[in-house]
Structure 1
Amino acid sequence: MKKIRIQPFLYRAFHSSGFRLSFVLGLFLAVFQIVQMITPIDSGYIYPASLYAMWVGGEWASYASSLLFLLLPLIATLPFSDCVARDKKTGYIYHLLLHQERNTVFLECALTAFISGFSAAILPFLENFLLCATLYPALPPQASTYTFSPSLHGFLVNVFYTRPLLYCLVYILLIGVFFGALAVLGMSLGFLIKSPIFVHLLVFALYFWVYYITMQLGWYSLNPYVFLNPTQTVVFPMRVYLVYVIGMFVTAALIIFAGGRRYEAVS
C-alpha cells in the first residue's frame, strides 16, 4: 500500500456543497435551541440559569434539541459519504484508481468520511456551547438544586459535578466518533447504491428505523437518539456504544472489501 494522502479528499469534503448545507443546518439548530430556551439568569428558581443546564446537551425539552439528535445522521453524511456513489456516477473513480492502488484510494475515502462526519457532527454542539457561554455563567452544577439532568447514578456523573466542562467535551467526542463511524458506513453503501442522494436517505432511514423500533419496544438503552444525549435520560451504555461503533466500522470494511474487488483490474 502506497503512502496515504487524504489532503485532496479533505479539500473535496470541506469545500463541498454537502458540507456547507450540513454546516448551515447545524448552525440553525444550534441558534434555534438558544432562542427557544432563552431564560433570564435570575429566573426566580432555586438556582440561577447555568451554561451547563441551558446548552443543547444540558436539556432535553426543546424541539431544537430533539431535531438536532434526530438529524445528526444527515448532518454527518452530507459532507462526503456520497463520494463513492458520486465518483461511480461521474466515472472519476477510474481516474483515482489509475493513479493509486485500490486499497489506498478506498482507505483515503473512508478516513475522509470519518473526519468530515466527525467534524460536521460536533460543530453544532460546539457552536451552541460557545454561544450559550456568552449568555449564561458557567455556574458549577449542584445536585441538590435538581436543575441539572444527569442522575447521581449516571455515566461520568462525578466528572459532571466536579469538572462539567470536561464532561461536556467527552460527550461531544463520543457523539463525533459515533457519527463519524456512521459516515464511513454511509460511504461504503456507495458501492451498493448508484444514486448519491439515496446514500444519505438510506443512512437516515437505518438510523430512524433503529430509533422507531427501540422506542416502540422500550429498549431506550439501545437507542442512539437517547443514550447519546448528555442529559442521560438513560445511563450511557458504554458496551452498547462500542458494539454500535465497532459494528459500523466492521460492516463498512466488509462492504468496501467486497465492492472494491470489482475494480481489481483497474488499479
Structure 2
Amino acid sequence: MCQIVQMFSPVDTGFSYPSSLYEMWLGGEWASYASALVFLLLPLFATLPFSSSLAEDKKSGYLIQLLIRGKRLSVFFRYAVSTFLSGFVAAVLPFLENLFLNAAIYPALMPQPSTYTFSPSLRGFMVKIFYSEPLLYCLLYVLLIGIFFGALACFGLSLCFFIQSPVVVHLLVFAVYFWVYYLTMQLGWYSLNPYVFLNPTQAAVFQVPVYLIYVIGMLSISAVLIALGGKKYEHLT
C-alpha cells in the first residue's frame, strides 16, 4: 500500500506512516478475506441466536403455553424485542472484540488524510468525527451495524410463522441478503448494497435515507408478517 501511495504521490517522503488501530481493525480495512467473510456471514451471526426460537417453541408446544398464560400482543412483542437485541449483540460483538484486541497491538494514531492510508474519504458519512474522534466514529458505526442486523433478525423471526424448519429460516434470511448483495453489485448500485455501505471504510458513501429505508422496511415487514401469522392464535387469548 505504501509503495502504491508513493508511486502516485507528488512528494517523495522517504518514510511510511505507521500502522494505526483505526486502519488495522476489522472495520478499518476492506480488502482482507477476514473482513469480507465477516460482512458476508453477518446475517447468520444475527439470526442464529434467537430468530428461529419461535419455530422451535411452536414445535415443543411452549408457544401455546405462553399464549394461554399471557396476551398475544405482549408475547409476540417480547419475542421481537428479544430477537432484535440478540441479533444486535451477535452483530456487534465481532467488531468490538476485534477493535479492543487490535488496540493491544497497534497504537491509536490519529487518522491523517494526507497519508492516503485511512478510510473513509473526505466526503464520507461522519468523516469529521472520524478525523477528530476516530474511536467514537468506530463505535457509532458499530451501533449502526447492530441496529441493521437486529432488524434483519426480526425479519427472520417473522418467517417462523410460515416456515416450520429453523434451518430453512436461517438460510432464507441469508439468501435474501446475498440476493440483494449480488443484484446491487451486478447493477453497480454500490450505495444500496448493505455489504458495502455497512463497512466503516465506506467504499460506497453511507447514505442515511438508504439505511433508514432498509431498517424501517425490515421492521415494518416483520410487524406485518407477525400480525398476520399471529391471527391463527387468536382463539388462545
Q: TM-score, normalised by structure 2?
A: 0.93
* C-alpha displacement of 1:125: 0.1
* Aligned residue among 46, 54, 62 for 1:76: 46
- Show the counterpart of 1:57: 27
In the TM superposition, 1:80-95 aligns within 5 A as 80-95=50-65
* C-alpha displacement of 1:45: 5.3
* Aligned residue among 180, 200, 205 for 1:210: 180
Q: Runs of 5+ in structure 2 lacking a partner?
A: 1-13
Task: Give the distance between the partners of 2:24 and 2:70, measured in 1 at CA.
Answer: 49
* C-alpha displacement of 1:87: 1.1
Identity score, percent: 66
* Aligned residue among 108, 111, 123 for 2:81: 111
- Show the counterpart of 1:265: 235
Task: Give the distance between the partners of 1:137 and 1:96, measured in 2 at CA.
Answer: 51
Task: Give the distance between the partners of 1:208 and 1:61, measured in 2 at CA.
Answer: 19
* Aligned residue among 119, 122, 142 for 1:149: 119
- Show the counterpart of 2:166: 196
Q: In the alignment, does 2:146 pair up with 1:176?
A: yes
- Show the counterpart of 1:229: 199
Rg larger for: 2
* C-alpha displacement of 1:85: 1.0
Task: Give the distance between the partners of 2:61 and 2:171, measured in 1 at CA.
Answer: 22
- Show the counterpart of 1:38: none
* C-alpha displacement of 1:46: 1.8
Instruction: Give the secondary structure class of the aligned counterpart of 1:136.
Output: coil
Which residue identity is paired with 1:189?
A: L
Which residue identity is paired with 1:128?
A: N
* C-alpha displacement of 1:84: 1.2
Task: Give the distance between the partners of 2:15 and 2:205, measured in 1 at CA.
Answer: 26
* Aligned residue among 137, 154, 172 for 1:167: 137
- Show the counterpart of 2:92: 122
Q: Runs of 5+ in structure 1 lacking a partner?
A: 1-43
Instruction: Give the secondary structure class of the aligned counterpart of 1:265.
Output: helix
Task: Give the distance between the partners of 1:65 and 1:140, measured in 2 at CA.
Answer: 22
Task: Give the distance between the partners of 1:178 and 1:190, measured in 2 at CA.
Answer: 20
Instruction: Give the secondary structure class of the aligned counterpart of 1:116.
Output: helix
* Aligned residue among 121, 128, 138 for 1:158: 128
Question: What RMSD over aligned residues (CA atoms) do the two structures have, in Å?
Answer: 0.9
Which residue identity is paired with 2:76?
A: F
Task: Give the distance between the partners of 1:45 and 1:204, measured in 2 at CA.
Answer: 44
* C-alpha displacement of 1:152: 0.6
Instruction: Give the secondary structure class of the aligned counterpart of 1:58.
Output: coil
Write out per-residue CA displacement over residues 208-228 of structure 1, whole angstroms, 9 at most, x where no aligned residue: 000000001101011000000
Instruction: Give the secondary structure class of the aligned counterpart of 1:67.
Output: helix
Q: TM-score, normalised by structure 1?
A: 0.83
Q: Which runs of 4+ in 1 moved over 4 A?
A: none
Task: Give the distance between the partners of 2:122 and 2:63, measured in 1 at CA.
Answer: 52
Task: Give the distance between the partners of 2:209 and 2:96, measured in 1 at CA.
Answer: 26
Write out per-residue CA displacement over residues 57-85 of structure 1, whole angstroms, 9 at most, x where no aligned residue: 00011100000000000000000000111
* C-alpha displacement of 1:167: 0.4
* C-alpha displacement of 1:151: 0.5
Instruction: Give the secondary structure class of the aligned counterpart of 2:161.
Output: coil
The structure-2 alpha-carbon separation of the partners of 1:123 and 1:197, relative to structure 1 and needing over 3 Å to count, comes to same
- Show the counterpart of 1:250: 220
Q: In the alignment, does 2:103 pair up with 1:133?
A: yes
